[in-house]
Amino acid sequence: MRCPGPPSSQVAKVQHTHTRSHAGQLSRSSHPCSSSNATGTTTVVLPAGTVIGSVPPVRLETFGSVQATGVGPACPQMTGLNITPLLLDVIILPDVEETLYFGTSLGDETEDCLTISVMRPEGTAAAAKLPVLFWIFGGGFETGSPQAYNGSVLIPQSVGQGKPMILVAVNYRLGDFGFLGGSEVLADGAANLGLLDQRMGLEWVADNVAGFGGDPDAVIIWGESGGSMSVFDQLAIFDGNNTSKGRPLFRGAIMDSGSITPTEPVDSAKAQEIFDTVVEAAGCASVADSGKLECLRGIGYETFLKATNSVSTYLSYSSPAFNYAPRPDGRTLTASPEVLAETGKYATVPIIIGNQENEVRNNICFIPDQHHTKADLIFYLNDVFFHNATSDEVAALVDTYPDNPDSPAGIGASNATYPEFKRLAAILGDWELTFMSRLLLETFPFNVPAWSYQATYANGTPILGTYHSTDVPHLFYETDDVSTAIQALYISFVDSLDPNNYAAGTACGYLTPWPTWQERKQLLELGAQSTRLIYDDARAASFDYIQAHLKTLRL
């Protein structure tokens, strides 16, 4: 039996209207495939030449009448791609290519890219006070754009379930434009600009979403992958102060495949090495240290973009050891995220958090097939990921994972591809994503509800299983029974801060009542045919080791 979908009348025709925000008058229209969809609303307009290495300014003047239809341009992308034989094997698998997001489908890249897309049900009145779902896209802090996401499925589903909502998608700077590190950047106060772009987007929503029929007091922040890591960072920046003008910017959060990311400071050796590489590629190496950042700002967009792409991307040998990521700078992030979590320096709001069972297995397909022995694996982890750990410490971590081609996830020994493939995937997936969710949950107050899940619905995919980003089609594009049920959980959470309040009949027998993680430390397993509750205790020895050694296991 098919789950009931939204009535067809909810699919809107293109309509042009006007509204006014503090930035001026906005012309907007609906997306041709969704409910009344106001897109391209300008959050910040940065004059050309000020984007590189600059904090987004607060613009108080009005801009007059602004054409704000369609989707805004993508921020500059890092799309260097390492083609491996294994990648060629997996990319031909059904439905795999669309979830790898190489960035090649993004258009209109420009440095003047700080925009917000606002999508809402057709006919929404300004006084509707609908809850707002604030989306932060993923892409390893190097690729991605709101262009790849719209509300053509989620918004009609919310209307059909009697819980209409508004979807907002924020753009933010990537790579060197948004996350350049180095001592020069730290001294200039120009670190974590991408996070500050996201924060300004939240502030824009607080000031303006009421004009679109949204409730600024009912905002949920949501992200996947790097966007999900950004969600935790938005909980933790300024030591957990999530207010603007005396009111909270959001009341809940959803983190899909990402949360805490243990990182070294902005002026760490790794961040400095990347800065120096970019400076060299940009022709600024001969400039005194105190002038290098200004040199980068003055070389022009095209030259700077080329210099940025001289650094390897997360679609290469270093995947997924992000060369660009939010890092502690003493102000925006006062410490590594796991420290902020352990010390309670983050906004505690109700959350949904979870992962795919086989995280990063697709990411490591970009790594050359050269890890055939335990010694190869230890060297790679030490060289690319854990610079501050000794080889003995890395070896001890590796030893907590069985040397078994069918371990730790059971998709078959024939899918191991090379001797250390699955062990490498398990270590990186746990360290970067799965265990970080558990670590955050262990710090969470008992009286603030948190729900956690693990997805296994794609375990039939050869080689990859339920890999990183398989959730995106279910959440944004698909209308099958499983997707509709998962969407219902999120829509319910946006509406009531409880995922269990979905409309009767929506789940078609797929969903199991979902207890909070604090009750029994259980996850909702999202399978291909049904759901069940499982305990969040997988690979306990590995979790204990990583938790005890995080100071030396940071990016």
pLDDT digits (tens, 9 = 90+) for 332-343: 999 999 999 999
Domain around 337: 8-552
Whether residue 509 has pLDDT greater than 70: yes
pLDDT digits (tens, 9 = 90+) for 20-40: 344 443 433 333 223 334 333
Mean pLDDT, rounded, for 79-106: 64
pLDDT digits (tens, 9 = 90+) for 164-179: 999 999 999 999 999 9
Task: Give the residue with greater pLDDT, 386 vs 101.
Answer: 386
Please choose, from the candidates 544, 546, 496, 502, the residue with its C-alpha nearest in 3D space to the C-alpha of residue 524.
502
Domain count across the chain: 1
Residue 168's CATH number:
3.40.50.1820
pLDDT for 26: 41
pTM for the structure as a whole? 0.89
Distance between CA atoms of 216 and 246, rounded to whole angstroms? 13
Catalytic residue (choose from 21, 29, 145, 225): 225
Asked, for residue 301, whether it belongs to a domain, the answer is yes
pLDDT for 472: 93
Query: Facing residues of 169 across strands?
Result: 117, 135
Residue 277 sits at φ, ψ, to 5 deg, of: -65, -45
Asked, for residue 95, whether it belongs to a domain, the answer is yes
Asked, for residue 363, whether it belongs to a domain, the answer is yes
Please choose, from the candidates 295, 291, 265, the residue with its C-alpha nearest in 3D space to the C-alpha of residue 281.
295
pLDDT digits (tens, 9 = 90+) for 200-216: 999 999 999 999 999 99
The reply to whether omega before 156 is within 30° of 0 (cis) is: no
Asked, for residue 433, whether it belongs to a domain, the answer is yes
Mean pLDDT, rounded, for 420-449: 94
Asked, for residue 431, whether it belongs to a domain, the answer is yes
Asked, for residue 53, whether it belongs to a domain, the answer is yes
Whether residue 486 has pLDDT greater than 70: yes
Mean pLDDT, rounded, for 76-96: 72
Asked, for residue 2, whether it belongs to a domain, the answer is no
225 belongs to the catalytic site: yes
Strand order in the sheet with 24-29: 16-21, 24-29, 65-67
Asked, for residue 1, whether it belongs to a domain, the answer is no
Least confident of 61-75, 206-220, 538-552: 61-75
For the chain, give the mean pLDDT.
84
